[in-house]
């Protein structure tokens, strides 16, 4: 095979592999790439395709193994270096991830994937200004790449710069109308009682026949919100029910019976944990827990106004533990877990954030599942349980679209109601275990009497209270949750009893 024939052959094979990748047939990507490498063992691009496929499958060690093999062939391959950075970022090895991105950029300073990857890493570390600078650098190199505009729209939304969010979303909607994610981002910060233009755009898009499942989900939830803003609740609920139905059907691996098994056994889990040696940290921790949409973001914003407190948002550092526990408890495996290992893992990840404040808030709501473990690891930590009128909480969960497979139980009314019952039972259990260590923060009391309730909150956390801490609209703390728009407003109570607008339009509340 001469050189030209070889190039043509490899390009055709690479296109086939890319097609497999596009339809998420990662086994086919790996198989075909390995076949080619047997014939051409030094074609580095196919080590890259294998690595990316294993990454998508969640097999990070195998992904890293193949990418490192490619790096041995060419230590200056910028794509391999950048993807190794992504693997290490996924493995929470932020220092190593940054080193790989910087190596790629030293070789090719204008390599946009490395710039964007490094920007996202900086964002995950809370270095928002550094992240924005990098995204803007990428934008100067190529201002037509939608990925850069999407990232900038998301990050500007998180820090409350909604005019800039709208600028990038409108660019995307104009230039890349098929990217419905731009409509989703814009939807979260738009008041449709004043703006009918974007609603009409979404209504036109949902009529198209070539929409993906994800697009249909985005549009149904988005249109539901637009009609809700206009107080057309009967129309809103129709789109909302349809969006939830499509989303639930897409979650083919979710089994609600697994939740039942997990909740029934979690109360007995403390006996499976051993603490090998005393563990200390020079940081103090506040864990804000509860159901989503129960006031966790507002509580986080108020406390984060204290100069002694760093509001880290939803760290999700215990999620890997949650996944392992879920699997092992469901399979009834008698696997012992090391508290010391969990504690060190948590602190190591905290240290990558370079936080100067002495107190750190983690407001991952689902940490309520691991409250016993958290109190064993950090016995002096403060636990704040946010609770809200249950019908308001349930409907707010039902009307919102969460990222990925998060809160899979929230898209079916029966499953949502049953999960809430499991949650309430577990909170009662923790309350009986260590009631003095939990502060129950009532959303209704907090928004109606913020001075009184916030003073109680600060007293529990052993922090000095100041009236100015209630000016949450002045907070610079990034907000990556669905509450990013509401949390930039002064404290308000108009959402108390909001479920009543839909009370006669859905059977959800009778299920509660």
Asked if residue 226 is part of any domain, the answer here is: no
Rounded distance between C-alpha atoms, residue 409 and residue 415, angstroms: 6
In the 3-class helix/strand/coil scheme, how is 493-510 assigned residue by residue? CCCCCHHHHHCCCCCHHH
Would you place residue 114 in the very low, low, confident or very high pLDDT band (cuts 50, 70, 90)?
A: very high
Residue 275 pLDDT exceeds 60: no
Mean local confidence (pLDDT), 347-352 = 79
DSSP 353: T
Per the domain annotation, does 376 fall within a domain? Answer: yes
Mean pLDDT of 486-510: 90
Identify the residue with better confidence: 429 or 271.
429
Residue 298 has pLDDT above 70, yes or no: yes
* Percent with pLDDT over 70 in the chain: 93
Residue 240 domain-assigned (yes or no): no
- Residue 477 — very low, low, confident or very high, per pLDDT cuts 50/70/90? confident
Rounded average pLDDT over 367-391: 90
265 is a domain residue: yes
161 is a domain residue? no
Judge whether 275 lies within some domain: yes
Dihedral sign from CA coordinates of 5, 10, 13, 14: negative
pLDDT for the residue numbered 455: 97
Number of domains in the chain: 1
pLDDT at 15 over 90: yes
Residue 342: domain span: 256-511
End-to-end CA distance of the chain: 70
Name the β-bridge partners of 288: 384
Indicate whether 273 pLDDT > 50: yes
**pLDDT per position as a tens digit, 301-340:** 999 999 999 998 888 777 666 665 555 554 455 445 566 7
Mean pLDDT of the chain: 90
Q: Binning pLDDT at 50, 70 and 90, where does residue 272 land?
A: low
Contact at 8 Å (CB) between 112 and 136?
A: no
Q: How far apart are CA 135 and CA 152, in angstroms?
A: 7
Look at strands 382-387 and 359-362 and give their pairing.
unpaired
* Predicted local distance difference test score (pLDDT) of residue 331: 46
What is the distance between the alpha carbons of residues 76 and 455, in angstroms, rounded to a whole number? 57
- 248 CB neighbour count, 10 Å cutoff: 18
299 in a domain, yes or no? yes
Res 368 pLDDT > 50: yes
Which two structure tokens, joined as six digits, stand for 370?
């691991």
Residue 144 has pLDDT above 80, yes or no: yes
Average pLDDT over residues 331-360: 73
pTM for the model: 0.87
Residue 420 belongs to domain with CATH number: 3.40.50.300
* Per-residue model confidence as pLDDT tens digits over 222-264: 999 999 999 999 999 999 999 999 999 999 988 888 888 888 7
User: What integer pLDDT is reported at residue 276 of this predicted model?
Assistant: 54
Name the residue with tokens 């499991």: 422
Asked whether residue 327 is assigned to any structural domain, the reply reads yes
Q: What percent of the chain has pLDDT over 90?
A: 70
């Amino acid at each position: 095979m001469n050189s030209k024939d070889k190039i043509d052959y490899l390009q055709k094979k690479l296109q086939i592999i890319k097609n497999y990748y596009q339809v998420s047939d990662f086994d086919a990507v790996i198989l075909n790439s390995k076949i080619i490498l047997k014939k051409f063992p030094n074609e580095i691009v196919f080590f890259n395709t294998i690595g990316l496929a294993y990454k998508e499958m969640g097999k990070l060690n195998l992904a890293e193994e193949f990418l490192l093999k490619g790096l041995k062939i060419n230590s200056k391959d910028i794509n391999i270096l950048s993807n190794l950075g992504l693997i290490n970022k996924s493995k929470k090895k932020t220092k190593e991830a940054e080193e790989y991105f910087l190596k790629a950029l030293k070789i090719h300073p204008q390599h946009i994937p490395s710039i964007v990857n490094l920007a996202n890493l900086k964002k995950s570390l809370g270095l928002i200004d550094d992240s924005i600078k990098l995204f803007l650098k990428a934008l100067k190199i190529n201002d037509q790449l939608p990925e850069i505009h999407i990232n900038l729209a998301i990050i500007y939304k998180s820090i409350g710069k909604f005019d800039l969010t709208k600028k990038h979303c409108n660019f995307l909607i104009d230039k890349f109308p098929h990217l419905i994610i731009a409509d989703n981002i814009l939807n979260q910060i738009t008041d449709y009682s004043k703006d009918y233009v974007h609603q009409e755009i979404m209504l036109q898009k949902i009529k198209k026949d070539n929409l993906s499942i994800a697009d249909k989900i985005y549009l149904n939830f988005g249109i539901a919100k637009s009609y809700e803003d206009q107080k057309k609740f009967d129309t809103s609920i129709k789109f909302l029910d349809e969006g939830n139905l499509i989303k639930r059907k897409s979650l083919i691996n979710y089994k609600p019976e697994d939740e039942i098994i997990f909740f029934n056994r979690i109360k007995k889990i403390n006996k499976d944990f051993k603490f090998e040696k005393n563990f200390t940290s020079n940081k103090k921790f506040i864990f804000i827990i509860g159901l989503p949409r129960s006031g966790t973001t507002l509580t986080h914003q108020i406390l984060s106004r204290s100069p002694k407190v760093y509001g880290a948002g939803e760290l999700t550092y215990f999620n890997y533990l949650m996944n392992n526990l879920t699997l092992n408890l469901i399979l009834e495996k008698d696997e012992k877990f090391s508290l010391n290992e969990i504690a060190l893992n948590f602190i190591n990840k905290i240290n990558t954030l370079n936080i100067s404040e002495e107190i750190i808030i983690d407001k991952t709501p689902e940490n309520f599942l691991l409250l016993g473990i958290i109190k064993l690891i950090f016995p002096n930590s403060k636990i704040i349980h946010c609770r809200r009128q249950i019908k308001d909480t349930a409907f707010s969960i039902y009307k919102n679209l969460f990222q990925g497979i998060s809160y899979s139980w929230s898209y079916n009314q029966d499953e949502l109601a049953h999960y809430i019952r499991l949650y309430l039972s577990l909170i009662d259990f923790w309350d009986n275990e260590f009631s003095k260590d939990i502060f129950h923060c009532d959303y209704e009391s907090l928004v109606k009497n913020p001075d009184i309730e916030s003073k109680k909150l600060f007293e529990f956390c052993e922090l000095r209270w100041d009236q100015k801490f209630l000016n949450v609209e002045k907070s610079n703390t990034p907000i990556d949750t669905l509450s990013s728009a509401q949390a930039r407003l002064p404290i308000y109570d108009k959402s108390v009893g909001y479920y009543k607008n839909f009370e006669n339009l859905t059977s959800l509340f009778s299920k509660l």
